[in-house]
Structure 1
Amino acid sequence: GTATTVASAPVQMASTGLVTVKSDNFIMTVDEFGRISQMELLEVKYHDEEGNNLKILSPSEVKPLEVRFSDAKLNDEAFRIPYINTGSQSVDVSNGPQTVTLTQTLSSITVTKKITFKPTGQYDVTVTTSASTPYFITPGHRPVADQSMYMLVRGALVKGSDDIINTVEDGDAEGYEKFPSAKIASAFDRYVASMFFDFDKGLNVSILKEANGDPLIFVQGSDTLELNAYIGPKEEKILSAIHPELTDAIEFGWFSFLAKPFFKVLLWINDYVGNWGWAIILFTLLVKFVLFPLSYKGMMSMNKLKDLAPKMKEIKEKYKGDPAKMNAQMMEMYKKHGANPMGGCLPLILQIPVFFALYRVLLNADELQGAGWILWIENLAVMDPYFVLPVLMGASMWFQQKITPSNFTDPLQEKIFKWFPVIMTVFFVYFPSGLVLYWLVNNLFTIAQQYFINHMYAKQKAVAVAAHKKSKD
């Protein structure tokens, strides 16, 4: 069947260049089989320690624009007979688009690839076969731009005609999945992607499973196939300028519904302040401001519970043998004093999705790559090289605990709680410094809030005590 023939391709020798495409930000090479064999990113932020450009295509993997045929004989020829380029061998797209036409003459058909390269990494492709025969074209195996230790999602992403975004991670491909009339088909890594897209007619996309379980995207064509494509960094500004929907190719996982608006707000703040570190701090302040009414209620509730702790102990002693009565008495007491045992948890519970959404934004946003803050923090996308931020974060957590009213009745819970800052510090040591900065600033604002609320509570309590005294007199 089609599924098997599309998946097979002979092992190739090292490819030779047919065309070199130059832009301000990249150098791209097209090989003798009409495939993009390499793309080098020239921006300094992508350079390695030695100052070399970042090459995003792995020599041994399937390349973007590789064409495969269902017909076994044609398929075999397609990987042996090179394309011919009658035009220039080197094109410069810095000042505008340039078109290259490549032709491959097989025994029964002629294949023509007309590629228009643009300065951003966007390109348009028209594949034409002189006689009708089914073929498949791929955006290639996902590019490689990050070998970091972070838990990253990488693989294939398809935005279907129903607007649902499907991701197939490396190693998780099922075999053969079809997505008719898909809008986007993207092979993606942490910061870079190679994608095809069509928001009008849609693409007939299949995802195949490679031997190692990685997904491989193919788009089916016959006669003439027109494709819009992009390869390069998943930068919001670049993608949204090509098409607003294309930003869906920036993958934020489970918490996309929060991560996407967060990312937009962060980009907006950064446009004004021009420093990602300060943008994160201002964003944290904004989140705190939005959650303040809930935090206020929760912290007030915790103060009340702390005051009620002795009474709670009495009730527990008194109704030791009767849990139902004990709970009823407890509820009665909470009601009388306007305390809510769950009130203190709510702001914390709300912080969890916020934290995870931000984690994904700060991990996946290419804009943070090489973005510094102040002093020694030169790249918010990687860990703090001197562990200063994680240690400060741990210290702020410990201090926050000190001033937060607690009403532990279980000594074991209290012990675990005491060790929490240490555990979190160890946990955060390797996190991107942008995320640690968010958590540190979040803690500092929480401490300020707690001081303010403790002060307010003491005031309210003094007023209540005075009023109570007065009524007695």
Structure 2
Amino acid sequence: MLDKMTPNQRLMLAVAASIIFFVAYTAIFPPAEPQTQVVKTQQDVKVKHQDTTQASQDVIEPTTGHSITKEVREVAGRSNTISTVTHKDFILKIDTLGRISSKELLQAKFNNKEGGHAQLIPETGMKPLYIRFLDEVIDNESKTVAYSASVENIALDGSPQKVTLTQKLSSLTVTKELTFYADGHYDAKVSLSQDKRYFIYLGQRPQVTEQMMTVSGAMVYTDDEIATIVEDGDAEGRKTFTGVELISAFDQYSATIMYDFAKDTVITLERDREDNPVVYFDALQNMSFSGYIGQKEYKVLKNIKPVLTNAIEYGWFTFASKPLFQLLSWLHGIFGNWGWSIIALTLIIRTILYPLTYKGMVSMQKIKEISPKIKELQAKHKGDPQRMNAAVMDMYKKHNANPLGGCLPMILQIPVFFAIYRVLLNAVELQGAPWIMWVSDLSLKDPYYILPILMGASMYYQQRLTPNNFTDPLQEKVFKYLPVIFTLFFLTFPSGLVLYWFVNNLFSIAQQFIVNQQFQNAKEAEIAASDHAQKIEHKEAQDSKKSTGRKDD
């Protein structure tokens, strides 16, 4: 069957198969970032790493599933919450272990799948600002003595608010001074009355929104602009880092972030019993840093500190996705609607790619025109593949047709599609963002499946317009069923992504109309020129006969 296909057909089939395979494979096995170990001041890190080898058995192993002990409950009374921070958009709670134990988002657009308010900190597992000591005696005592808070209730009305947490152990006093801000970030100052070795934990990642093909796990971003991402289930061994700009535990739209460490702070990334990443750092007797718990909104993170925008994860296509999102955000500033901004972005992309796609479409038209002649050559030299290939290439050259011309533009567009795909899948700004009429949330699937059906219909119509030269009926049938397959696949995709694909198809249809019309006009002009030439020849022949007749007379 493959022997009967032209090189163009084989490449087109390979591209189509690659796209389907890539999408299906990514759905099942989302791409993982290289787990690069970034170590600066190598000698210093090695010494500290050796010091923590024994400690890891005590410090790291019990990290997951930690619960409040019976003694702590008794100290705390009826509730283990010692301080509550309220804002119009969220409620944050601090528990008797001095941890941020809860952050509830009050905005309806961030609601979870069950329709309730999103809870960014899971009930079980490690929580932000949890402290563990290297000294086993102190560590055990720290689990049974509750912190006290200087303020029980804090109302954030625009100005920063401070709370001081104190834990008095038999030989040590721990103080955490936390300043909260309305934008969701906080500053932390942790101090000990004596210099003891201890570790502060980032906490478990949020578990609010996770659609297929999104990444969830932990990130360490260093000052050499390298982001090490370890997905849930993929953590292996221990990695240490210095020169860290931020650490993050994240899901699709939200993250727990810590940043503003001293450059020599040693950040450690471990794995828990389920091979999920756990991040913590060696703290000093007097330690200052900042944190953020909330949605990964670009403008919010940029206003807090520009480096935090690197916590927005785009996977392999970050190099292209990041500027695309900035362009999309700029367009939103013009249109004020994310749906129309997606359409405008699609128009810009198609305009930039127009020369490339135009050449591809022209090449496909030329291949279609000479397809009957190619089939004749293939039949004529059926028993001599070498001669057949040479004759076919001569035919392509003679008609200025590139057998790869129709496929290369398609291949080059694939990175663009996946870049914009990652943008629309990871942009929390689309949550609760309406477009028109029935599309009230571009981050969710179309409730009436109108957009996926329109997308499939436009894809089918585009196929009807696009020239092809399939020689195998089975291949042609498979190709025709692709719109149905893609429609079914896109039924559960976010509306914003389906909107992009649908509008992209419309531009392709318009461009194909233009190319087809140009070829039709050229063909009509060629026929007209040929008819005109025949008329002239006929007239010249008639004139010649008349002239000859006169001479005979």
Alignment TM-score, normalising by the size of structure 2: 0.82
Stretches of structure 2 that go unaligned for 5 or more consecutive residues are 1-53, 74-78, 538-553
Of 110-119 and 11-20, deviating more is 11-20
Equivalent AA in structure 2 for residue 286 of structure 1 = I
Q: Which deviates more from structure 2 when the two are superposed, residues 105-114 or residues 30-39?
A: 105-114
Among candidates 231, 235, 242, match of residue 304 of structure 2: 242
Structure 1 equivalent of residue 182 of structure 2: 119
CA RMSD of aligned residues (A): 1.9
1:262 aligns to what?
Answer: 324
**1:263-299 deviation per Cα after TM superposition (whole angstroms, max 9, x unaligned):** 1111111111111111111111111111100111010
Q: Structure 1 residue 205 and structure 2 residue 267: aligned?
A: yes
Bigger Cα Rg: 2
Aligned length: 471
The answer to whether the 8 Å contact 1:24/1:119 transfers is no
Matched, 1:455 2:517: yes
Alignment of 1:179-194 (within 5 A): 179-194=241-256
Q: State the one-letter code of the partner of 1:248.
A: N
Match of 1:97 in 2: 160
1:300-449 pair list within 5 angstroms:
300-449=362-511
Q: Give the share of equivalent positions with the same residue, in percent.
A: 48
Alignment partner, residue 19 of structure 1: 83
Q: 1:199 to 1:139 in 2, by over 3 A?
A: closer
Q: 1:202 and 1:414 mapped to 2: Cα distance?
A: 62
Provide the C-alpha distance between the structure 1 equivalents of 2:299 and 2:330, rounded to a whole number of angstroms: 11
Q: Is the contact between residue 302 and residue 308 of structure 2 (CA under 8 Å) also seen in structure 1?
A: yes
Q: Give CA deviations for 1:291-344 in whole Å, capped at 9, x if unaligned.
A: 100111010111111100111001101111111111111111111111111111
> How far did residue 151 of structure 1 move?
2.8
Select 2:202's aligned residue among 122, 135, 139.
139
Q: How many Å separate the matches in 2 of 1:471 and 1:96?
A: 86
Query: Residue type of the partner of 1:38?
Result: S
Deviation at 1:219, TM superposition (A): 1.4
From 43, 57, 68, the equivalent of 1:4 is 57
Kept in 1: contact 2:339–2:442 (CA 8 A)? yes
Q: Which has the higher helix share?
A: 2
Letter in 1 for 2:81: G
Quote the Cα distance in structure 1 between the aligned partners of 2:423 and 2:369.
41
Choose the corresponding residue for 1:283, options 324, 342, 345: 345
Report the alpha carbon displacement of residue 409 of structure 1 after superposing the two structures with TM.
Answer: 2.2
Instruction: Tell me the SS of whatever aligns to 2:266.
Output: strand
Residue 31 (structure 1) aligns with: 95
Cα gap change, 1:288 to 1:199, in 2 (>3 Å): farther
Give the drift of 1:242.
Answer: 1.2
| Structure 1, 276-285 or 194-203: larger mean CA deviation | 194-203
Q: Tell me by how many angstroms 1:470 deviates.
A: 6.8
- What is the aligned partner in structure 1 of residue 32 from structure 2? none
CA distance in 2, matches of 1:153, 1:430: 18
CA distance in 2, matches of 1:11, 1:375: 47
- Bigger shift: 203-212 or 444-453? 203-212
Q: Does 1:292 align with 2:354?
A: yes
**Kindly tell me: are residues 199 and 237 of structure 1, through their superposed partners in 2, closer, same or farther at Cα, counting changes over 3 Å?**
farther
> Would you tell me which structure has more strand in proportion to its own residues?
1
CA contact (8 A) 2:84 2:92 kept: yes
Q: Is the CA contact 1:3–1:176 (under 8 Å) kept in the aligned structure 2?
A: no
Aligned residues of 1:65 and 1:137 also touching (Cα < 8 A): yes
Secondary structure, counterpart of 2:252 in structure 1:
coil
Q: CA deviation at 1:48?
A: 4.9
Q: 1:219 — aligned with what?
A: 281
